[in-house]
């Protein structure tokens, strides 16, 4: 079956760096996505990895190791507005994506 | 605003009633997805379309649920004989093939 694991909650301090991990076991793999979701809002796209390695996008970076079924999202220079849920999603086939339950990040002053 | 719209934004209905939701995707996106999300969980895949063809439907979806995308543009999701367990946020997303998904604001369904 499909299984995506992320920590439920994390807390970090404004200005710091935080790493959110995601491990997955899925029947297929055709890319891994990270989305940000603020409370009461829809998810918004952050990053995409399909090959092993690090993808950097401003304050956000995402890493993928397909052999280990592992990814992380790295957030630098944390701001209060980064408090949100971060969703890891694996695209298993041409269209279908399976989402993890998300990691709720709280940024404290 | 991602460019994906959903209507209505909120729906309260009594158990046993039918409801229909609409999603208007970004116009150049040929793929459209429906998800259901409850508090504290990630979006759960329901079904997706490529143009007007429904390519996959979750096994979790009972036959009370049906979705259409008749002209390959907007889509509707209908739930017949609603149950309290159907209460959730219903999210629609669209994408170009092989690219990230853009989500609409969702329709929050409450079944009383």
Q: Which chain B residue has the Cα nearest residue A30?
A: B98
List CB contacts of A10: < 8 A, sequence separation 6 or more: A18, A20, A103, A104, A105, A106
- Inter-chain residue contact B43 with A95, CB threshold 8 Å: no
**Of the given ranges (B10-14, B55-59, B81-85), which has the lowest mean pLDDT?**
B55-59
Per-residue pLDDT tens for B38-68?
999 999 999 999 999 999 888 877 889 999 9
Provide the token pair at A1: 């079956």
Q: Which chain A residue has the Cα nearest residue B32?
A: A95
Provide the token pair at B78: 């209908």
Given a contact cutoff of 8 angstroms between Cβ atoms, the answer to whether B31 and B50 are in contact is yes
Q: Which residues in chain A are contacts of B103 at CB distance < 8 A?
A: 35, 42-44
How near does any CA of chain B get to the CA of A39, in Å?
Answer: 10
Residue by residue, pLDDT tens for chain A (109 residues) are 469 999 999 999 999 999 999 999 988 899 999 999 999 899 999 999 999 999 998 999 999 999 999 999 999 999 999 999 999 999 987 678 899 999 999 999 9
Q: Would an 8 Å CB–CB cutoff place A90 in contact with chain B?
A: no
φ, ψ of residue B84 to 5 degrees: the values are -60, -30
Question: Closest by alpha carbon to B76, among B100, B97, B55, B54?
Answer: B54
Q: What is the DSSP string of A58-101?
A: TTEEEEEETTTTEEEEEE-S--GGG-EEEEEEEE-SSS-EEE--
Give the pLDDT band (50/70/90) at residue B99.
Answer: confident
């Amino acid at each position: 079956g499909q299984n995506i694991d992320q920590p439920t909650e994390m807390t970090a301090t404004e200005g710091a760096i935080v790493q959110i991990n995601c491990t997955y076991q899925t029947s297929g793999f055709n890319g891994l996505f990270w989305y940000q979701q603020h409370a009461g809002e829809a998810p918004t796209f952050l990053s995409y990895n399909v090959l092993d390695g690090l993808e950097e996008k401003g304050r956000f970076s995402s890493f993928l190791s397909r052999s280990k079924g592992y990814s992380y999202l790295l957030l630098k220079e944390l701001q209060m507005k980064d408090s949100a849920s971060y969703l890891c999603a694996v695209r298993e086939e041409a269209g279908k994506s399976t989402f993890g339950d998300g990691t709720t990040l709280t940024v404290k002053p | 605003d991602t460019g994906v719209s959903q209507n209505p934004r909120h729906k309260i209905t009594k158990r046993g009633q039918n409801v229909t939701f609409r999603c208007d995707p970004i116009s150049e996106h040929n793929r459209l997805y429906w998800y259901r999300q409850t508090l504290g969980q990630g979006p759960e895949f329901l079904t997706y379309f490529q143009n007007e063809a429904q390519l996959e439907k979750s096994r979790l979806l009972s036959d009370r649920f049906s979705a259409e995308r008749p002209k390959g543009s907007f889509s509707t999701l209908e739930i017949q004989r609603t149950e309290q367990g159907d209460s959730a946020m219903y999210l629609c997303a669209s994408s170009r093939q092989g690219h990230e998904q853009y989500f609409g604001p969702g329709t929050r369904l409450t079944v009383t």
